[in-house]
Amino acid sequence: MGMGDLSAKSVQEALPDNQCERCGLTYPGKEKQCPHCKSIKSDEDLESFKAKHEKEQVAGKKPIAGIVVFIIILGVLFYLSL
Ligand SMILES: [Zn+2]
């Protein structure tokens, strides 16, 4: 009977991340409730949470990609100038 327990456990651990329908963030599949928005009760708070998170995503990801490209270009220019 130990086999059943084991496979049930490994299936649970291998669960893919869930995407929360409420706030749009991902959370581990073993969590029953989204940890990001479970404490948010009102729709107003949820909207401001989502807006804030979207801003962070936009502000956080694009500059990093730009910096990486910039560094690669600099590296190539430096290499070519040697
Ligand atoms: Zn959520």
Residue 34 lies in a domain: yes
Q: Report how far ligand 1's centroid is from the alpha carbon of 12 (Å).
A: 20
For residue 1, what pLDDT is reported? 55
Question: Based on the number of CB atoms within 10 Å of its own CB, is 39 exposed (0-12), middle (13-18) or buried (19 or more)?
Answer: exposed
Q: Report how far ligand 1's centroid is from the alpha carbon of 7 (Å).
A: 28
Identify the domain containing residue 24 by its residue range. Answer: 14-81
Predicted TM-score (pTM) of this structure: 0.48
For ligand 1, a single-atom ion, which residues have Cβ within 5 Å?
20, 22-23, 34, 36-37
Q: Report how far ligand 1's centroid is from the alpha carbon of 66 (Å).
A: 29
Residue 52 lies in a domain: yes
Q: What total number of domains does the chain contain?
A: 1
Average pLDDT over residues 60-75: 85
* Residues across the chain: 82
Question: Based on the number of CB atoms within 10 Å of its own CB, is 37 exposed (0-12), middle (13-18) or buried (19 or more)?
Answer: buried
Residue 27 lies in a domain: yes
Residue 6 lies in a domain: no
Residue 63 lies in a domain: yes
At CA 23, angle to CA 65 and CA 19, rounded to 5? Answer: 75
Residue 8 lies in a domain: no
For residue 62, what pLDDT is reported? 67
Question: Based on the number of CB atoms within 10 Å of its own CB, is 58 exposed (0-12), middle (13-18) or buried (19 or more)?
Answer: exposed
Q: Report how far ligand 1's centroid is from the alpha carbon of 46 (Å).
A: 9
Residue 4 lies in a domain: no
